[in-house]
Amino acid sequence: MDSSRVINDPLLSREERLDALRALRKTAEDRRTENGSGEINNHIHTIYSFSPYTPAMAALKAFEAGLEAAGSVDHDSAAAAYEMLNACAILGIGGCAGFEMRVSFKKGADNRPSPFAERKINNPDSAGLAYMTVQGIPKQAVPLAAEFLAPVRDERLKRTRAMTFSANVLLKEAGVSMIDFEDGVFNSSKYSEGGEITERHLLAAVSEKIILKFGRGQDLIEGLKRKMGITVIPKIESLLRAFENPHYLYDLLGVLKTEMLPGIFIQPDEKECIPAAAAVSFAASIGAVSSYAYLGDVGESVTGDKKREKFEDDFIGELFNEISAFGFKAVTYMPARNTLEQLQKVQRLCGDFGFMQISGVDINSSRQSFNCKEVLRKEFRHLIDTTWALIAHERLSGVDRRYGLFSPDSPLASLGLEKRLAAYAAFGRKLDKRDPDESAADIALEIDKGDF
């Protein structure tokens, strides 16, 4: 088996994949975009939630695309952290790790009544629930993150199992063979290794059954319409007509996420989507950065799995008041997903409320590019600096929590956020990318001497 297949083999161990990456490093350097693009991406999903990529392969894809830094963010899981950080070090690019989760805004800060309990915030599936990220997790805190997320993963497992029953009812009515949850959903995930099972795992299993029944091309399109009442929009129909389409499963999954999932979706409760205050408090307790994930009103979906819909924009100022009260430290957004007008308003609000700005495009499909040229525009170049600040925070917090970006005990704590971010960005760029932990210890000594 060639090295690239080993690197992306989910059945092999992390060490086997990393060894294969070491063996392929020189070849990868030859394939890398000349001199690198300067781009970054802190929000790459891996096999530990839903993605075609192992952490090692995600790092390799980012490297070959010319990115200078990459980070893993999986749903309800930090299990990719070890492999992602080591893969980035092997390749000589910056690396960071975090996780994404859904939390409840049904009660406000200090347990007061919330104005968001019945509003859709940034979650297309649920009112009163919102996506957030916990990023810049110090290496020694990864096991604590796993312990914190275990009950969340357990609740989501139960709910996905119940949704599989509902999906099977629809498949049976359409004359399509039903899904065995253990074989078709659970075993395709990395749940047993600390990963998460998501709705996409279920929809991937449904997609495979539909392809098995109808084949590909026009027969599948007709089967969806006649047997399941699903009409495919012309843009996606042309993709599903192509028998040799290498992204076929992901394109069909996107259709089902929009057209089928609402009919089988079971709303999560607060056992799975814990109160936002609890999640923010946990992030602070481990020295990580809690970040609200801005979605914004959706026009045309980049990934094809979101419909036109309104979210936070009509009440964005009120929302920022709330996330500030909860104690969020940052806002994360995706320059490729929104209009310049939307993002300039978010940037102004971040400045007003003192939020760090973090960027990354969530990659969970083989169709998506690892490049995000938007971050190179003058309006967004500061997001490259904040990425290096996040990387420095993560590595320096690994030396000692007091070196964290938001630590009240940091020697830089008296600096305003803008100056602190600039200092940490410089620390991040100064790290030895192939041995960041050792060089972080040296930088910590310089900080203690006041050399910043």
Taking the C-alpha atoms of residue 336 and residue 350, their distance in angstroms, rounded to an integer, is 18
DSSP bridge partners of 98: 73, 135
Amino acid symbol at 50: F
| pLDDT at site 35 | 65
Could you list the beta-strand ranges (E) of 315-432.
330-333, 356-359
Neighbours of 238 (CB within 10 A): 12
pLDDT in tens, 47-88: 999 999 999 999 999 999 999 999 999 999 999 999 999 999
Choice among 36-40, 232-236, 341-345, 365-369 with the minimum mean pLDDT: 36-40
Domain assignment present for 163: yes
**Does the structure show a pLDDT above 50 at 303?**
no
| pLDDT at site 31 | 77
Which pTM does this prediction carry?
0.94
Domain assignment present for 346: no
pLDDT in tens, 152-211: 999 999 999 999 999 999 999 999 999 999 999 999 999 999 999 999 999 999 999 999
Of 225, 241, 264, the residue that ends a domain is 264
The owner of tokens 């992602």 is 84
Domain assignment present for 98: no
- Nearest-Å Rg of the Cα atoms of the chain is 22
Domain assignment present for 71: no
Of 245, 264, 283, the residue that ends a domain is 264
How high does pLDDT run on average in the chain? 94
Domain assignment present for 104: no
| pLDDT at site 110 | 86
Dihedral sign (CA 264, 332, 48, 191): negative
Taking the C-alpha atoms of residue 324 and residue 320, their distance in angstroms, rounded to an integer, is 6
| pLDDT at site 282 | 98
Domain assignment present for 247: yes
- The H-assigned helical ranges of 32-80 are 55-64
Largest CA distance in the chain: 72
Domain assignment present for 118: no
Domain assignment present for 294: no
Which range marks the domain in which residue 204 is found? 150-264
| Residue 82 exposure: Cα atoms within 13 Å on the Cβ side | 14
pLDDT in tens, 99-134: 999 999 999 988 888 999 999 999 999 999 999 999
Of 211, 239, 264, the residue that ends a domain is 264
**What's the total number of domains in the chain?**
2
pLDDT-above-90 percentage for the chain: 90
